[in-house]
Structure 1
């Protein structure tokens, strides 16, 4: 399986690597694995819906 880093996922999804780190820690990205201090995210993972707003921020950008 191919993986991407927090930085790569951030560029792909248009959000900060810190927010993605939070998603990984909370188990919101299926298949994400922690190897030492680094999170590995499957390249085919979908961007989680932003639960901080009523509608989520999935409407901005394509989410992939």
Structure 2
């Protein structure tokens, strides 16, 4: 199986490397393993949904 690093995954998904670390530590990336202090993420892994925001969140602009 091919793996990518946290840095490569962050560029691929458009998030910070720290956010990818949170995903890995929380078990939200299927198949991610930690070897010698480095997270290895499967190349075909999908970006987990961000639980910090709601899908139907308004943009803050009032509808008039």
TM-score with structure 1 setting the length: 0.85
1:14 counterpart residue number: 14
Q: Which runs of 5+ in 1 are unaligned?
A: 57-64
Kindly tell me the number of residue pairs found equivalent between the two proteins.
56
Q: Which runs of 5+ in 2 are unaligned?
A: 57-64
2:55 counterpart residue number: 55
Please list the CA deviations of residues 16-57 of structure 1 after superposition, one character each: whole Å capped at 9, or x if unmatched: 01000000000000000000110000000000000000118x
1:33 counterpart residue number: 33
- How far apart in 1 are the matches of 2:29 and 2:55? 19
TM-score with structure 2 setting the length: 0.85
RMSD value, Cα: 1.2
